[in-house]
Chain A
């Protein structure tokens, strides 16, 4: 007989069956065990087992045909002298700061503007949110058209008298990375806005009333009431942003493939082309391990928060 758990674990509710308490070892019905084991096995097959292999392959040299050859930390030593790796790492950090920082700040700003329950606010929210449902590939193609030499962006610059700024935005090494960040932001801001809208809704209006009575200005209310109250949402947004940044692949791959001359290369795109185009599977795995290490802190803190919540 299984023992049910009450939502409040402080007082585990034992089941009185036919007037007596269940004693002895708690047995779990086989069906319930199967309910856990089947999904767990599916994940073990496609995630846990491959992940272990991935870490091992990072220590090997492998072309995918002959058996992998153990080389210890050679792949990581090679990275120290790999200019493409260094610039990809730099771009990834820049991506984290620009894409992550701007989507958090602009997402919060949009949420603050659109939190007011006014007529028509639903339309504005939907407009900002709509790009979230597009695939990053479709997003990338939309912006690629905008960026073309004869595209809208250059036309608009010309029309407002800034013709000297016209560019082949994606073909220029100095602008390619930034040109790729903009479409990613266009899609991410609506997502972050939705998270903040939910957070703002959860703030007790009495706090604002009290601050107003005390004569706090709108800026002070934002600074001393809203932002501290949003602390837990901020933690969520931070995790989402870091994980999403390190995963960013589709938009770069569709727009520039990391080029021209690796000027928009991220670790994720470099890893993919090293593994599946240069067929250097060992080095590619080592690059993936670097991505994992960068993400590890955020993953761990996310899990710690989840652990506390699961209790």
Chain B
């Protein structure tokens, strides 16, 4: 065997070892991360008698889908999921529409104080929500919307919009001015420039932010328990805490409720994974 081929085969062996090592390490990490999810899925499919007799941490000896029915109807998850969607969908649409409008005006026109306005709006979003909780709950009482879904929609839009303005501003700024100038020469007004030219070019950023904001708003707990009181109006996150109180130690039902609560955002993630990751990175100020 010549020295050349010997060196080649050592390199090949070393590369194989590196590959095996990589999959071993990364695989172990992935299993560790997925284990709690697998556990909750298994628990949601066990019967209460099985858990009571053998313990929560035991190997499953039963299989049932009844827990989902119980969480869904008796546990109030159905109503809660409807509430969540009634809040989340309008919030995402209105927030992104408002943010796109403001970002368009601030990035494409020379308004006075535009940089200060942009930072003011971003700054509002960076505030710790705690400073707003008491005044916001009183404000919604004064406005007569306390304990209604519009109050939750309002505060979610008001608090979220600044961040999206900032991100979309960064994106729209990079659209070449020549495109817009050509439209102005053709006699297009601001609305046509916005609707026909800038908005279509911003679509990737809007897609990314939609996926991101859907999860954020859907997963919120703090604003919901600040402006809502009745159980029938709570979104799914707060309802899940209610379920935890209602079915103390009935882990099969609580697990089923958690699966129901997580399913919509997991679906959005799996469907729009690329947008999702892009959105997180758009949001990072570099």
Contacts and interface: CB of A to CB of B under 8 A. Distances in A.
Interface string A130-143: 11011111100111
Contact of A36 (B26, B40, B102, B122): B102
A156 B106 CA distance: 57
B46 to A, nearest CB: 11
B86 interface: no
Given A2-B109, A5-B109, A310-B169, A136 B251 contact: no
B31 to A, nearest CB: 8
Contacts of B92: none
Contacts of A114: 26
B258 A32 contact: no
A40 B102 contact: yes
A110 interface: yes
B207 to A, nearest CB: 16
B134 A136 contact: no
Contact of A284 (B134, B165, B170): B134
Interface string A116-127: 101011011011
A86 B122 CA distance: 31
A31 B102 CA distance: 11
B127 A299 contact: yes
Contact of B57 (A40, A136, A154, A267): A154
B280 A194 contact: yes
Given A146-B39, A194-B280, A292 B241 contact: no
Given A15-B184, A285-B134, A309-B170, A130 B37 contact: yes
A55 B237 CA distance: 29
Interface stretch (B1-9, B61-69, B215-223): B215-223
Contacts of B136: 46, 50
A243 interface: yes
Nearest to A284: B134
A288 B128 contact: yes
Nearest to A148: B56
A101 B43 CA distance: 32
B128 A247 contact: yes
Q: Is the interface of B mostly helix, strand, loop or mixed?
A: helix
B180 interface: yes
A50 B139 contact: yes
Interface residues of B, number: 112
Nearest to A118: B22
A163 to B, nearest CB: 13
A76 interface: no
A229 interface: no
Nearest to A153: B57
A281 B276 CA distance: 38
Nearest to B114: A36
A10 to B, nearest CB: 13
A8 B121 CA distance: 23
A305 B285 contact: yes
Interface in A97-131: 110, 113-114, 116, 118, 120-121, 123-124, 126-131
Contacts of A281: 134
B176 interface: yes
Contacts of B254: 141, 145
A62 B277 CA distance: 44
A150 B59 CA distance: 12
Given A120-B23, A145-B251, A236 B37 contact: no
B133 to A, nearest CB: 7
Contact of A253 (B40, B56, B221, B269): B221
B139 to A, nearest CB: 6
A103 to B, nearest CB: 14
23 contacts: A17-B184, A31-B189, A31-B191, A43-B159, A47-B127, A48-B120, A49-B139, A54-B131, A124-B29, A127-B29, A131-B33, A133-B219, A133-B269, A135-B218, A135-B220, A135-B221, A142-B37, A148-B251, A155-B58, A198-B281, A291-B128, A291-B131, A309-B286
Given A4-B108, A53-B134, 4 more contacts: A137-B221, A152-B39, A271-B130, A272-B130
Interface of A: 2-7, 12-13, 15, 17, 26, 28-29, 31-33, 35-36, 38-40, 42-43, 45-51, 53-55, 57, 64, 110, 113-114, 116, 118, 120-121, 123-124, 126-131, 133-138, 141-146, 148, 150-156, 186, 190-191, 194-195, 198, 232-233, 236, 239-240, 243, 246-247, 249-250, 253-254, 267-268, 271-272, 275-276, 281, 284-285, 287-289, 291-292, 295, 299, 302-303, 305-307, 309-311
Interface of B: 19, 22-23, 25-27, 29-30, 33-34, 36-37, 39-40, 43, 55-58, 98-99, 101-102, 104-111, 115, 117-139, 154-155, 157-159, 161-162, 165-166, 169-170, 173-177, 180-181, 184-185, 189-191, 194, 215, 218-222, 225-226, 236-238, 240-241, 244, 251, 254-255, 257-258, 261-262, 265-266, 268-269, 273, 276-277, 280-281, 284-286
A-B pairs, 5 with minimum CB distance? A46-B158, A50-B135, A155-B57, A135-B219, A150-B55
